[in-house]
Amino acid sequence: MNKIEFFFFKNYLFSEKKEWLRFDSLFSIIGVILSVATLTIAHSIFGGYETALKDSILGANSHIYIFQPGAANLNQEQVNDLIQDFGGKKEVEAIAPVIQIPAMAVNEGRIKGALIKGINWKAEAQPTKYRQYIRQGTWEMPDNKDVVMGKKLADELNLTIGDLVKIVSPLHSKFTPLGYKSKSKKFKIVGLYESGMYEYDSKFVFMNMQSARGFSPVSSEYSLIEIKLKSEFINKADYLAYKWEMLNDGFYQISSWIEFNGNLFMTLSFQKWILFIIISFLILLASFNIVSAVSTSIIEKKKEIGILKAFGASSFLLSKIFVGKTMILSSIGVLLGQLIGYIIAYFLSVQNFFLLKGDVYFLEKINVKFSFQDFTIIFIISILMIFVASLVPLKRVSSLQITDILRGM
């Protein structure tokens, strides 16, 4: 920007006449503010949903799972060997065996499907965020009758801390003279677990390893081994799982979180950008208003254009001044739209009045993500669209002949 353009822009913004307060300029900028705010809200909520979902999935689950191929369990010896093999790897932060048994949780005639997770709650390094997700009570389960339940599951069964819950495992039924009898036991709820992921919070029942084994037909066996990776390796889990499986000659089945959830995140990302493109059309519509405002301004300023041309101003300089004025106001509009968008998105994220349906959307709370990268992308795309739109009426400036303007004045 040279001094001449700067002078014109300064005069435009700060002169007593406040040209930018004109009705059509103001309303075209309000259009930009609203469309950019809409785009910002949609993008930050979608981004927030994606991030929160990822955090919940990665927090409630480990990153790599080691199974015995087929439906078989891992015995103690295998578990010891695997912990020795994998525990020392530079990528591994925590490793632990887990017992997983499908079950039912029962209270006063209410029955809900559940998943027993027998864990070593005492271990300092847990492969999941089990301890961090305890919202009420404790994560310690020293007694064989203690359980930590998903909060949603407890709510659905009308249970809370200190209440007793009956856990039934129909998979390991015994034949009695009265027919098949499922394995069942009453437990005391010592903690309520909430990861934010509906699927887990309405299903998980944590208990210590010994209690879980009570529901297993074979003692001293484990369902799988869970591995938590160091943060820098989380996105390489897929590759590591494949590599380690190959190194073990396929003796164990090793899977990663990406294998189970990769498609979900790919779909989410795709949807986010499709939504971005669709909402960007709102900005395109707002840009049409800008074309109209710039055209009107050129027609109204025809006399000034003629005078300035007569005194030596080139069409290029005049065009730059018109575009510059539009861009200054539009940039303020875009920034204001982004600010308003972020404020509204923030309020949506802290309110508890409107919640999502957890059983449909996995998460109940509306989450938002504010990132500098998204901010920059929205800003650049909006400004680019408005810039292109502002160029459309400019050919009028160069086509205006000074003599025609002077004669018409």
Partner 1 sequence: MEILKINNLKKSYIDSEGELTILNGITFEVSKGTMVAITGESGSGKSTLLHLLSLLDKADSGEILYNGKKITGSDKLISKFRNKSIGFIFQFHYLLEDFTAIENVAMPMFLATGNMKTSLLEAEKLLKRLDLINRKHHYPNQLSGGEQQRIAIARALINKPDIVFADEPTGNLDKKHSDEIFNLLRELNREIGQTFIIVTHDEEIASQLDIHYFLENGLLQLHSAE
Using CB under 8 A as the binding rule, whether residue 4 contacts partner 1 is answered as: yes
How distant, in Å, are the alpha carbons of 24, 333, 336, 392 from that of 286?
A: 12, 11, 15, 14
Q: Residues 30, 161, 313, 332: which binds partner 1 (CB under 8 A)?
A: 313
**Considering beta carbons, is residue 200 or 322 the nearer one to partner 1?**
322
Residues 6+ apart with CB under 8 A from 335: 379
Residues 6+ apart with CB under 8 A from 364: 196, 198, 355, 356, 357, 358
Residue 54's nearest CA partner among 225, 258, 328 is 258
Q: Residues 123, 125, 278, 310: which binds partner 1 (CB under 8 A)?
A: 310
Burial of 305 (0-12, 13-18, 19+ CB in 10 A): buried
* Window 390-409: contact mask with partner 1 (x via CB under 8 A): -----------xxx--xx-x
Instruction: Please give the Cα distance from 136 to 342 (Å, whole number).
Output: 32
Binders of partner 1 among residues 190 to 229 (CB under 8 A) are none
| Residue 115: its H or E element | strand 110-119
Q: State the minimum distance, in angstroms, from the CB of residue 15 to partner 1.
A: 6
Structure tokens at 299: 């027609």
* Window 48-87: contact mask with partner 1 (x via CB under 8 A): ----------------------------------------
Instruction: Please give the Cα distance from 203 to 195 (Å, whole number).
Output: 11
Q: Residues 270, 304, 351, 361: which binds partner 1 (CB under 8 A)?
A: 304
Using CB under 8 A as the binding rule, whether residue 309 contacts partner 1 is answered as: yes
Binders of partner 1 among residues 100 to 159 (CB under 8 A) are none
**Considering beta carbons, is residue 9 or 346 the nearer one to partner 1?**
9
Binders of partner 1 among residues 274 to 303 (CB under 8 A) are 303
Instruction: Please give the Cα distance from 82 to 72 (Å, whole number).
Output: 16
Using CB under 8 A as the binding rule, whether residue 7 contacts partner 1 is answered as: yes
Binders of partner 1 among residues 16 to 55 (CB under 8 A) are 16-17, 19
Q: Residues 60, 82, 283, 308: which binds partner 1 (CB under 8 A)?
A: 308
Instruction: Please give the Cα distance from 271 to 361 (Å, whole number).
Output: 14
Q: State the minimum distance, in angstroms, from the CB of residue 313 to partner 1.
A: 5
Binders of partner 1 among residues 247 to 266 (CB under 8 A) are none
**Considering beta carbons, is residue 34 or 317 the nearer one to partner 1?**
317
Distance between alpha carbon 319 and the CA centroid of its chain, in Å?
Answer: 43
Residue 40's nearest CA partner among 228, 275, 269 is 275
**Considering beta carbons, is residue 314 or 351 the nearer one to partner 1?**
314
Q: State the minimum distance, in angstroms, from the CB of residue 303 to partner 1.
A: 7
Residues 6+ apart with CB under 8 A from 191: 134, 136, 137, 138, 139, 141, 148, 149, 161, 206
- Select the span of 11-19, 164-172, 196-204, 349-357 touching partner 1 (CB under 8 A): 11-19
Q: State the minimum distance, in angstroms, from the CB of residue 301 to partner 1.
A: 9
Q: Which residues pair with 94 in a beta bridge?
A: 228
Residues 6+ apart with CB under 8 A from 156: 110, 112, 202
Using CB under 8 A as the binding rule, whether residue 312 contacts partner 1 is answered as: yes
Instruction: Please give the Cα distance from 400 to 92 (Å, whole number).
Output: 71
Binding residues for partner 1, per CB under 8 A?
2-4, 7, 11-12, 15-17, 19, 303-304, 306-314, 317, 401-403, 406-407, 409
